[in-house]
Amino acid sequence: MGIKVKRNGFTLPLHVYQLISWVLTLFDLTSISIVFLRHRQFLPLSIIYYFLQALVIFLAGYLTASDPTDLSKSSQNNPEDSIINYCSICTLNVSSTSKHCGQCNRCVENFDHHCKLLNNCVGKTNYKFFVGLIVMYLFLNAEIILFSSAVFSEFYDKKKYGEIVISVILIAKCMILFMADGALIGLHVFLRWNNMTTYEYIIQKRNKAAEREKSLKTKENGSPQSKDVNKTVPNTTVINEFFN
Ligand SMILES: [Zn+2]
Ligand SMILES: [Zn+2]
């Protein structure tokens, strides 16, 4: 039999980061439902939390279940000029913007990146949902920080240790995730502005680092090799390393 193709993020094996994200979500849901919801004064904050949490779970579930595989080879309607690449691993004609994901073993049109948290590729068909997810996730973390801070200030003097411990854990965790997610949103704003995908950005960065290393070595060895020669050599080693 051939290589196993991963069609979506629920295809086994699941990724450890994906499992961690599920556990963290379950922790938020249970601790807020059991510890915070006992106090009726927090009902409005709870309603906003459940709404944002439900939206994030829906978007993450949709993205995990989505199949961004390039179907150019099976479509009869695709214009001839959009099918100009041949993938030697899939042994199929694919779109010019497709890249082969080594972790899923399939080509993805407008390949952005393989997301370990979703255990799936992000590309043409699901990129908008991915952006929606990271934006909603920022709101969710901000809401949990506000909610936990309100609980903390209410119960700190009353020495209710359950509420205090849970709110401190949630504030610390959500602060880290808020900053990491904010940086990710910033990166995608930068990429959209420069009309690049995450994949192109990473390859460009790696190629620049490899070029710098080569020119340093050239200087050390005193070789007359020109920098322009390095520029024209496609860095296939770097690309292969990224996908495997
Ligand atoms: Zn392929
Ligand atoms: Zn993938």
Ligand 1: distance of its center to the CA of 88 in Å? Answer: 7
Choosing from 104, 115, 121, 174, the catalytic residue is 115
Verify that 144 and 223 share a domain, yes or no: no
Q: What is the pLDDT of residues 146-197, one digit of tens each?
A: 999 999 999 988 888 889 999 999 999 999 999 999 999 999 999 999 999 9
User: Pick the residue with more confidence: 81 or 127?
Assistant: 127
Structure tokens belonging to residue 36: 């915070």
- Measured CA to CA, the distance from residue 206 to residue 242 in angstroms comes to 10
Quick one: pLDDT at residue 78? 54
Indicate if 166 and 234 belong to the same structural domain: no
pLDDT of residue 52: 98
Please check the confidence at residue 25 and state whether its pLDDT lies above 50: yes
Determine whether 115 is an active site residue: yes
Cα(160) to ligand 1 centroid in Å equals 57
Cβ of 61: how many Cβ atoms within 10 Å? 13
Same domain, 39 and 141: yes
- For 219, the domain range is 199-244
Over residues 68-121, the pLDDT tens digits come to 999 875 544 555 545 678 899 988 889 988 999 999 999 999 999 999 999 999
User: Do residues 206 and 191 share a domain?
Assistant: no
Q: Which ligand is nearest to the CA of 244?
A: 2
Q: How far apart are CA 110 and CA 233, in angstroms?
A: 23
Q: Let me know if residue 6 belongs to a domain.
A: no
| Identity of the amino acid at 150 | A
Q: Which ligand is nearest to the CA of 112?
A: 2
Query: Which pLDDT value is given to residue 85?
Result: 85
Return d(Cα 90, Cα 99) in angstroms, integer. Answer: 11
The answer on pLDDT for 216 being more than 70 is yes
Q: How far is the CA of 92 from the centre of ligand 1 (A)?
A: 7
b vs e for 142-168, b when ≥16 Cβ sit within 10 Å of the residue's Cβ? bbbbebbebbbebbeeeebeebbebbe
For residue 115, report the distance from its CA to the centre of ligand 1, in Å. 17
CA distance 36 to 32: 5
More confident residue, 2 or 227: 2
- Dist CA 124 CA 126 (whole Å): 6
**Percent of the chain whose pLDDT exceeds 70:** 85
Q: Are residues 60 and 177 in the same domain?
A: yes
- Residue 100 and residue 144 in one domain: yes
Assign 225 a pLDDT band (cuts: 50, 70, 90). Answer: very low
* 216 vs 237: CA distance, rounded Å: 19
pLDDT, mean over the chain: 87
